Amino acid sequence: MSLELPVRELPVLRDTDLVVVGGSLSGVAAALGAAGTGARVCLVESSTYLGREVTGSLRLWLSRDDVAHADAGGVLRALTGDAIPDGLDRRDEVAIWPDAAKRRLEEQLEEAGVSLLYATRPVALWPEFGSVGGVVVANKSGRQLLRAARVMLASEAAGLLRPDVRSSADCWFTVELTGSGCTLERPRLRDIGPELGLAGNQIRLHPGYREVGHVLVECRASLLRSDLGGPGGSMADRARRLGMSVYSHLTVTDPDFAGSWPAAVSYRPLVAAPEERPEPPDGVTLLDPPDGWLGLLGRPEPTTRLARLVDAAAEAGTQWDRSVASGEVEHPRRADAPERTVLEVREPEPPAHWIVPTEPAGPAPIAHVLTTDVLVVGGGSSGVSGAVAAAGEGASTVLVDANPGLGGTGTYGGVDSYWFGRRDGLATPNRRAVSAAHRALGLPGGSGKGWNIEVKADALLGLALAAGVRTITDSVVFGVIMNGDRVTGVVLASPDGIVAVKSKIIIDATGDADLAVAAGAPVRHGSDRSHASMWYSLAQFVEPGRTRNNFGGVLDMDDVVDYTRAVVAARRRGGDDLHDHGVYLAARESRNIVGETTITMRDQLVRQHFDDVINVHFSNHDIKGKSESIWTLMGLIPPNLEIEVPYRALLPREVDGLLVAGKAISVTHDGLAAVRMQSDLENLGAVAGIIAAGCAQAGATPRTLDLPPLQRRLAALGAFDPELLRRPPGPQPVSADVDDLISRALRQVPLHAYSHGSMTRVHRDGIPFVDLVLHPDPATTERVAERMAEVTGEHRMVLARVLVCRGDHRGSSAIVHELERAFGAESGLPERRSMIKHAQLPPDQAAMPDEAYLLYTLGLARDPAAIPLWQHVADRVDASPEAIRSMTAGTFAYVDAVAYGAARLGDPRSLPALQQLQNRPTLHGQHRPSGFEADVFQERQAMLELALAGARARSGDRAGVRILTIFLGDSRGPFRRQAHTELRLLFGRDLGHRPEAWLDLLEATGLAPNPLPPDADLLAPDGLGAGSAASPAVDSELAPVRET
């Protein structure tokens, strides 16, 4: 019996004249041609770049004749620029600079007004019967309808009409090499060993666009097309593995390549089109002729055919309105077709700010159905080790990933080394295999100090295949199959159509909680109030095969439109001289499940032991972005800690059958900073794989599993010290000797000095400052006040912070006096004088001037004596763009600290300072209704504008509300979300994302001062913001712990 998706109301994400499916050269040309006639055009591309025949296949060369015959403003000219730069032409070829080509193609679409959607796959023409009216597409946001009068399909989208069922096909792929010996003057053929199985036992070598040390190796082979998820991987997997074999062969047989290394292998190999193509229904145009681009491959002679091909697509675009859809859409269902079973499928709810109509779509037939014991979705740090571990336990295992290969952040994300994290544990064999792959190729690295990302990707694929894991890459999950509240499978959009994978147990290793979101489980988006999250990255390749750290920028993973914006913005970052950007948008933080247990930063500081511990992580407090924990805002930057991960943090609420591994486990924004290291996530994935296999073999669900026997086995395998199983649950007890705690706290000054230890040092002692703040003995407060009177300087300020946290006004009074002294001693504001280890551009690592830490602490105290100090900041802060970027000026922290305190005080007397700050050019007018920001600091200026607007609204200023409503329409998803959350908390109701609704409410009810309540500092879906037992004036991270 066949399966199909149910009828579903889909959001009409775009309502246009023409939808072009496929961002190939022909697709871009057709979109530009249609836009030139005034048509409204949307172009959909399944990857994160355009010009895939060139940029995805790495065929980074064109015939000079093609370029010469191309229009000056045409698509081909975009690949090389308006002129052929010196050094880029090699006799009969023009070499292509990939990053510049991708940018120019995007710019052409933007200038023409073409709407672009990345990371989006077509799954069906719409409607099922009748006149073609658009395309149904799938992505991380679920499915949407792109309604249009006409649809054009580039060659790579022809499978939408008829799946490719060939058993094998000719495939062209490219191996990009770099190194001192890799230099060519002109293209040339080279014989190669017959054992590789390449067509004609030959390869063609092409000079890269770089003058020296850059060669592109063109390969052709007839490769098997195995069944989806079959042994040996996909055709792209086979091409990638063969490409690495070609590289190995060259380094052994050709001295010119002995010192080279592999920079990349084709992300999207080119596959010869079937001899017969389906006849499209009326209203649908196939852009490329049957032989298309592939008719040009392997020809050494110059040809103008490519130029004609692209020109023909552009001409088709100008004729888009001819024969507008009037025929019937061909559908595989017929009267004699087998009966179909409708699956119970849940998909992500559309983002709340999508104020669009809906249309019914479906039922949609499912092209392929797989069954397995364990399904792992996400082939990154946790996913590969989870799949290999599950298969090693004897469970049949399927691994799905949206990227063209495996490795996630560690490969396609461009992060080619470990930071902190345990290097032992269950994933140790995987790491050894990666090191061995480097040694076998004579390459350095492979260990924690760095690796070649192509070698690692190939090694991980080899590991998975050797373990018997069936892999499905280049596919996006858009829904989950449900049986009541239990997840029993997924549906995904693949190059081969819609696929259903049914499984006994499922691991969500996407890093973004994609499956949990689709199933309806609650999640967090960054911090709980402002939704601040750690930065994302699109890998920056400074030269072929070599990346640099470049995380920065904000992203809402719920929204494919914001995802596309983030890709386009990131491609404009890093400078015009970059070789290329990566293909995977890697976020340090996006969404985290709300699990049965949530790991907080407080748990880490008090050395919390969980009775269901399954893994131990190790890191510094690596907060890359805006910290929102009161601990760090007061100046405590934690030491390197070992952190227990409880099993319940992998269990999303409200659903069963699903384990979440990777960085999307249940953890707070600031708690995530120390549990997200790659090697730790690899270990966590292996733990999840073993547990999932245990569930499948026992017929249990994650919630009914008998955990203690598995814990003992995990401990024996090295996931954690078996001694932990004998400890009572709870925080590490604190000393009853308060005087001793005070003396020890005063020896650790300043508080951020904890972060100065070496990367291998593990801090296992208590943190006296934390123990004093949380001490259960009420007499502690008076003893701390007595000692504060006896000390001065930084020592006095450490104890003043303790008193503020314990609700004693003497602490805030001491801080006010110290800030008055510090502010009076300088004409401006004090800069950061202390070294904060690993700090980069602000906000980062909670690095700021010591005086800013004190301002934040005053905000927690809710003391009106802070208002004159806020005015002092408003009078003297340097809010120039240069100062906001400065690692020492502290401008971001000073402004945010004022907003932090004013929002908690809710006093109209703070408005002059807030308004004066907001009048600075960099702190107002940062709203962007459309487009993107190439400069990440313009985004950070918007963060400050929102913080000030929220504080003004909390202080009774209607202008603050108006600014918040403006940001409801911002093009950057996290700012929309923050504005909506702020309005919802301010008014105690939810009126959605229509600004006029909130403004009408403001007129109807007025606005009185409304300070943030004490329990709002850690607002979360599961009520983690409950008031503190230590003091009604502080948040729940400050609840006391027991003494010994």
426 burial type by CB count under 10 A (0-12 exposed, 13-18 middle, 19+ buried): buried
pLDDT for 479 equals: 97
Rounded to an integer, what distance in angstroms lies between the CA atom of residue 516 and that of residue 658? Answer: 8
Q: Which of 808, 837, 818, 727 is nearest to 1034 (CA)?
A: 808
SS (H, E, C) 879-891: CCHHHHHCCCCCH
pLDDT for 971 equals: 96
pLDDT for 327 equals: 40
Rounded to an integer, what distance in angstroms lies between the CA atom of residue 454 and that of residue 262? Answer: 7
H helix runs in 339-494, sequence order: 381-392, 428-440, 453-466
Rounded to 10 degrees, the C-alpha dihedral 340/342/348/351 comes to: 80
Cα–Cα distances in angstroms (integers) from residue 280 to residues 23, 126, 146, 581, in the given order: 19, 13, 18, 35
pLDDT over 70 at 305, yes or no: no
pLDDT for 74 equals: 81
Confidence of residue 77 (pLDDT cuts 50, 70, 90): confident
Considering only the C-alpha atoms of the chain, give the largest distance between any 2 of them, rounded to a whole number of Å: 92
Side by side, which strands form the sheet with 364-365? Answer: 340-342, 2-5, 364-365
The domain limits of the chain are 1-161+278-338, 165-273, 367-534+588-724
Radius of gyration of the chain (CA): 29
Residues 6+ apart with CB under 8 A from 352: 980, 992, 993
pLDDT for 451 equals: 95
Phi, psi (degrees; rounded to nearest 5) at 494: -125, 170
Phi, psi (degrees; rounded to nearest 5) at 796: -65, -40
Rounded to an integer, what distance in angstroms lies between the CA atom of residue 901 and that of residue 861? Answer: 8
* Residue 125: strand pairing partners: 135
Task: Match 């730790």 to its residue by tokens.
Answer: 680
H helix runs in 44-97, sequence order: 52-55, 64-69, 75-80
To which H or E segment does residue 535 belong?
A: none
Which of the pair, 69 or 758, is modelled with greater confidence? 758
Pairing of strands 168-178, 142-153: unpaired
pLDDT over 70 at 973, yes or no: yes
Helix axes 25-35, 98-112, angle to 10 degrees: 20
pLDDT for 888 equals: 97
Q: What's the average model confidence in pLDDT over 38-67?
A: 92
Rounded to an integer, what distance in angstroms lies between the CA atom of residue 514 and that of residue 408? Answer: 15
Rounded to an integer, what distance in angstroms lies between the CA atom of residue 700 and that of residue 483? Answer: 15
Query: By mean pLDDT, which of 285-299, 417-431, 699-713 is the weakest?
Result: 285-299
Q: Which of 184, 121, 110 is nearest to 156 (CA)?
A: 121
Angle at 748 between CA 743 and CA 752, to 5 degrees: 150
Whether the CB-CB separation of 86 and 532 falls below 8 Å is answered with no
Same fold, 1-161+278-338 and 367-534+588-724: yes
pLDDT for 235 equals: 86
Pairing of strands 523-524, 592-593: antiparallel
Residue range 721-780, pLDDT digits in tens: 999 999 999 999 999 999 999 999 999 999 999 988 889 999 999 999 999 999 999 999
Rounded to an integer, what distance in angstroms lies between the CA atom of residue 3 and that of residue 15? Answer: 30
Whether the CB-CB separation of 701 and 725 falls below 8 Å is answered with no
Whether the CB-CB separation of 406 and 685 falls below 8 Å is answered with no
Whether the CB-CB separation of 1022 and 598 falls below 8 Å is answered with yes
Residue range 443-490, pLDDT digits in tens: 988 876 799 999 999 999 999 999 999 999 999 999 999 999 999 999
Q: Which of 565, 668, 569 is nearest to 623 (CA)?
A: 668
Cα–Cα distances in angstroms (integers) from residue 156 to residues 8, 51, 190, 200, 225, in the given order: 27, 12, 30, 26, 16
pLDDT over 90 at 504, yes or no: yes
Q: What's the average model confidence in pLDDT over 373-388?
A: 98
The tokens describing 698, both together, are: 């026992």
Q: Which of 346, 403, 350 is nearest to 141 (CA)?
A: 350
Q: Which of 813, 896, 809 is nearest to 848 (CA)?
A: 896
Cα–Cα distances in angstroms (integers) from residue 583 to residues 47, 266, 345, 586, in the given order: 7, 11, 29, 9
Whether the CB-CB separation of 1031 and 807 falls below 8 Å is answered with yes
Angle at 195 between CA 193 and CA 196, to 5 degrees: 80
Pairing of strands 168-178, 261-265: antiparallel
* Residue 262: strand pairing partners: 177
pLDDT for 136 equals: 96
Rounded to an integer, what distance in angstroms lies between the CA atom of residue 371 and that of residue 396? Answer: 9
Q: Which pTM does this prediction carry?
A: 0.95
pLDDT for 321 equals: 84
pLDDT for 616 equals: 98
Rounded to 10 degrees, the C-alpha dihedral 517/518/522/526 comes to: 20
Task: Match 């909130």 to its residue by tokens.
Answer: 998
Residue 653 Cα to chain centre, angstroms: 22
pLDDT for 91 equals: 62
Residue range 582-602, pLDDT digits in tens: 999 999 999 999 999 999 999
pLDDT for 62 equals: 86
H helix runs in 620-759, sequence order: 630-633, 669-672, 678-698, 707-717, 738-747
To which H or E segment does residue 858 belong?
A: helix 850-861
Give the single-character DSSP code of 864.
Answer: G
Residue range 656-665, pLDDT digits in tens: 999 999 999 9
pLDDT for 289 equals: 58
Confidence of residue 73 (pLDDT cuts 50, 70, 90): low
Task: Match 């509240």 to its residue by tokens.
Answer: 485
Rounded to an integer, what distance in angstroms lies between the CA atom of residue 718 and that of residue 616? Answer: 10
Q: Is 501 helix (H, G, I), strand (E, B) or coil?
A: strand
SS (H, E, C) 729-776: CECCCECCCHHHHHHHHHHCCCHHHHHHCCCCCCCCCCCHHHHHHCCC
Rounded to 10 degrees, the C-alpha dihedral 492/494/497/499 comes to: -40
Residue range 622-643, pLDDT digits in tens: 999 999 999 999 999 999 999 9
Domain with residues 1-161+278-338, CATH architecture: 3-Layer(bba) Sandwich (3.50)
Residue range 334-370, pLDDT digits in tens: 344 456 678 899 999 999 999 999 999 978 889 889 9
> Which CATH number is correct for 367-534+588-724, 3.40.50.1110, 3.40.50.300, 3.50.50.60, 3.40.50.970?
3.50.50.60
Q: What's the average model confidence in pLDDT over 873-900?
A: 98
Residue range 1019-1036, pLDDT digits in tens: 332 222 332 223 333 334
pLDDT for 179 equals: 87
pLDDT for 329 equals: 41
pLDDT over 60 at 519, yes or no: yes
Residues 6+ apart with CB under 8 A from 226: 232, 233, 234, 235
pLDDT for 332 equals: 40
To which H or E segment does residue 166 belong?
A: none
Phi, psi (degrees; rounded to nearest 5) at 695: -60, -45
Hey, what amino acid is at 62? Answer: L
pLDDT for 1015 equals: 57
Residue range 782-832, pLDDT digits in tens: 999 999 999 999 999 999 999 999 999 999 999 999 999 999 988 899 999
Helix axes 958-967, 936-954, angle to 10 degrees: 140
Residue range 166-196, pLDDT digits in tens: 678 889 999 999 986 778 888 999 999 999 9
